[in-house]
Amino acid sequence: MVAPGSALSDLSPASSAPGRRHQAEAMAEAAAASRRGAGRELTRACGEHPASPEYRVTSRKTDSAGGEGGVGHDLRHRTEDRVDKTPFSQEVMKWNGWGYNDSKFFVNKKGQVELAGKRYPLSGMVLPSFREWVQTNLGIYWEHRTTSKASLNPSDAPPSIVNEDFLYELKETNISYSQEADDRVFRAHGHCLHEIFLLREGMLQRIPDIVVWPKYLMFKNRILWVDENNLTAHVEAGITGQELERQVVHMKVVTPRGIIEKSCQGPRMSTGPDIHHFIMGSEGTLGVITEATVKIRPVPEYQKYGSVAFPNFEQGVACLREIAKQRCAPASIRLMDNQQFQFGHALKPQVSSIFTSFLDGLKKFYITKFKGFDPNQISVATLLFEGDREKVLQHEKQVYDIAAKFGGLAAGEDNGQRGYLLTYVIAYIRDLGLEYYVVGESFETSAPWDRVVDLCRNVKERIRRECKEKGVQFAPLSTCRVTQTYDAGACIYFYFAFNYRGISDPLTVFEQTEAAAREEILANGGSLSHHHGVGKLRKQWLKESISDVGFGMLKSVKEYVDPSNIFGNRNLL
């Protein structure tokens, strides 16, 4: 089994789409890789949260005849010499957890939770409310900690089994490779709970026998050219970003049958089924994208956060539906249920002054006492507006006027900006939970507007019921948010976690509960996935989701393009 070193493991909490790097982690590194050269800064169009530096792909004009992103090409055969110094190598990223080695939540000497490192808005800040919130909602006892491996013992990894003729061919073609345990383990997994739990407690049973670094794919993250007239950029496939499939104008794909690409880069073509759609969503099962032309937009001159508090989740959903109906959604709009709002509020850093604390208390008094909102029912929407200043202010007024019709109250810019912090650090929180007998994960779906409220309620209740039936001693965390809106429906994102103390096989309980939640989603009219994909974790439901004939069509394409099943083995189908 061979793993390409250039295709590093998925940086997403749910690793069902191999090769997809989680946006909140990967974007800062991708932007840094792009910022070589000079020229006017541009940004690609749309996305769930284009405001955050981690969520923005910026492109600058570069010399297409220049070197490979300024990285040397002295590639040697491994094992003694490491040549993989890319930002996502194991020198920078954790081998048995989420994200960067220098970033993690920990309990400091004063007994308060703090985020180490300097990479995130919360880094270095004390979170005075978080410890108590976690203890209350997940039953954590801080004196009870799990034990996990601090470092990888090479002897724990399965031995490498490699065909010597294959190794000889690699050497003859001057392709760099490694059979070292750390390289093989690092690229043997994604970041779903099952894999991280096994890495902390034991070892994966199946890992690559060898890792190869193809010479011409290793650093393919350059922007080859920027066309400001057509607002497009031609890029190599190593760039990262969220929802890039929505920005694709043209792509070049290498498959076992040959190269797939269109003959022109027009914005629309009536030439039968769009061949791009065969590739996007195929999850690596058909070939390798080597280059793409993507849509870009000038960086907005003005950005403004906002937030709205609603008396309950149902009124918040109704408001988002009306905003979608009027097609006036801001660049980002998210609606958190009450428990997720409280979760995010618990991540609030220590206030810097008594005056700030007083103002926070005054706002809470106004909403809960003067306006009569129930603190255990409040639902909060976070907003981000972008554009020129005058249009942003007009847009902001339009959205707040709609919100007021559904009982919404403006809750301030700070709360809006803070509402996105949970996204950036949720996977680090999962790692903290694993240290204290808590397992957790995220999953998502999309649903028509008339199913959103019922689906959210029923899925959360199903999780609680399944945990109780399976002997979980403490009530689970089961929370959701509406995270993207469309004319005909919305994307819904769930978090769930539970304390597994007293349970002999927590992974089985967790996976059975997650499967039950997915079945509840499907029964309530939700999709199998909105953006995480299918991969291996969810392929048991794919035929049900797309019909027998649809499934057969996908298999036929796979069998024609990749008859030897070289790419994306066991993914999707």
**Averaged over 392-404, what is the pLDDT?**
97
Q: How far apart are CA 7 and CA 184, in angstroms?
A: 12
Q: Which domain holds residue 203?
A: 153-218
The active-site residue out of 493, 495, 500, 560 is: 493
The CATH number of whichever domain residue 461 belongs to comes to 3.30.300.330
Q: Do 463 and 339 fall within a single domain?
A: yes
The CATH number of whichever domain residue 158 belongs to comes to 3.30.43.10
Which helix (H) or strand (E) is 171 found in, with range?
helix 164-172
Q: Do 348 and 449 fall within a single domain?
A: yes
Name, in order, each residue with C-beta under 8 angstroms of 307's C-beta and a sequence gap of 6 or more: 380, 381, 382, 383, 410, 411, 412, 413, 415, 416, 419
Of 218, 239, 257, which residue sits at a domain end? 218
- Whole-number mean pLDDT of the chain? 82
Q: Do 348 and 457 fall within a single domain?
A: yes
Of 509, 524, 539, which residue sits at a domain end? 524
Report CA-CA distances (Å) from 68 to 48, 77, 291, 502, 512: 30, 19, 14, 53, 46
200 is in an annotated binding site: no
291 is in an annotated binding site: no
**Domain presence at residue 167:** yes
552 is in an annotated binding site: no
286 is in an annotated binding site: yes
**Domain presence at residue 452:** yes
Q: Judge whether residue 153 has pLDDT over 80.
A: yes
**Domain presence at residue 458:** yes
Report which of 187, 199, 7, 217 is spatially closest to residue 179, judged by C-alpha positions.
Answer: 187
CA angle, 243 as apex, 422 and 66 as ends, to 5°?
A: 110
Q: Do 193 and 229 fall within a single domain?
A: no
The domain tally of the chain equals: 3
pLDDT of residue 162: 84
**Domain presence at residue 22:** no
pLDDT of residue 322: 98
Q: Do 410 and 513 fall within a single domain?
A: yes
| Local structure of residue 4 (DSSP, 8 states) | E
The predicted-structure confidence for 194-232, as pLDDT tens digits, reads as follows: 999 999 988 788 899 999 887 655 557 788 999 999 999
**Domain presence at residue 515:** yes
Indicate the pTM of the whole model.
Answer: 0.82
The stretches of 262-408 forming alpha helices (DSSP H) are 275-279, 313-325, 338-346, 354-365, 389-405
The predicted-structure confidence for 112-132, as pLDDT tens digits, reads as follows: 999 999 999 899 999 999 999
The CATH number of whichever domain residue 228 belongs to comes to 3.30.465.10
Q: Judge whether residue 481 has pLDDT over 90.
A: yes
pLDDT of residue 173: 85
**Averaged over 309-324, what is the pLDDT?**
98
pLDDT band at 351 (very low <50, low <70, confident <90, very high): low
Residue 286 main-chain phi, psi, to 5 deg: -115, -25
386 is in an annotated binding site: no
Torsion of CA 75, 80, 86, 90, to 10 degrees: 160
**Domain presence at residue 124:** no
Q: How far apart are CA 529 and CA 527, in angstroms?
A: 5
3 state DSSP class of 291: strand
Residue that wins the pLDDT comparison between 67 and 377: 377
**Domain presence at residue 70:** no
Q: Do 477 and 364 fall within a single domain?
A: yes
Burial of 71 (0-12, 13-18, 19+ CB in 10 A): middle
Q: Do 199 and 238 fall within a single domain?
A: no
Report which of 497, 463, 341 is spatially closest to residue 411, judged by C-alpha positions.
Answer: 341
Q: Do 290 and 192 fall within a single domain?
A: no
**Domain presence at residue 434:** yes
pLDDT of residue 106: 94
The predicted-structure confidence for 1-55, as pLDDT tens digits, reads as follows: 655 553 323 323 333 333 333 333 333 333 333 333 333 333 333 333 333 333 3
Residue 485 · residue 324 · CB < 8 Å: yes
Active site annotation includes 495: no
Q: How far apart are CA 261 and CA 276, in angstroms?
A: 8
Residue that wins the pLDDT comparison between 99 and 245: 99
The predicted-structure confidence for 259-289, as pLDDT tens digits, reads as follows: 999 999 888 889 899 999 999 889 999 999 9
